[in-house]
Chains A and B, each alone.
Chain A
Amino acid sequence: MDIGWYLTVSALIFCIGAGGVLTRRNPLVILLCLELMLNAANLALVAFARMWGNEAGQIFALIVMVVAACEVTVGLGLIVAIYRRNLPIDVDELHELSG
Chain B
Amino acid sequence: MNAGTAIIFFIAAIVALVGALGVVTLRNPFYSVLALVCHLVALAALFLLLRAEFVAAAQVVVYAGAVMVLYVFVVAYVGGGEEYAAGAALRILGPLFAIALAIELCIALLGTGLSGIDGKGAPYVRGFGTPKQIGRLFLTDYLFPFEVASLLLLVAAVGAVVLARRRRGLEAEDDRELERILHQPRPAFTGTMAEGAGLRRAIREIEESGPAVMEQEPAMPTTSND
Contacts and interface: CB of A to CB of B under 8 A. Distances in A.
Interface of A: 1-9, 11-20, 22-26, 28-29, 31-33, 35-36, 39, 42-43, 46-47, 49-56, 58-59, 61-63, 65-74, 76-81, 83, 89-90, 92
A49 B50 contact: yes
A46 B134 CA distance: 13
Interface residues of B, number: 87
Contacts of B189: none
A93 to B, nearest CB: 9
B116 A3 contact: yes
Contact of B163 (A8, A24, A65, A77): A77
Interface stretch (B61-69, B198-206, B211-219): B61-69
A15 B74 contact: no
A73 B134 contact: no
B94 to A, nearest CB: 3
Contacts of B120: 1-3
A26 B110 contact: no
Nearest to A57: B52
Given A28-B71, A43-B43, A62-B55, A14 B105 contact: yes
Nearest to B113: A4
Contact of A39 (B40, B94, B114, B164): B40
Given A16-B24, A29-B80, A69-B66, 19 more contacts: A1-B120, A6-B50, A8-B110, A12-B17, A13-B16, A22-B94, A28-B74, A29-B23, A32-B23, A39-B39, A58-B129, A59-B134, A62-B134, A65-B62, A73-B157, A73-B159, A73-B160, A76-B71, A92-B87
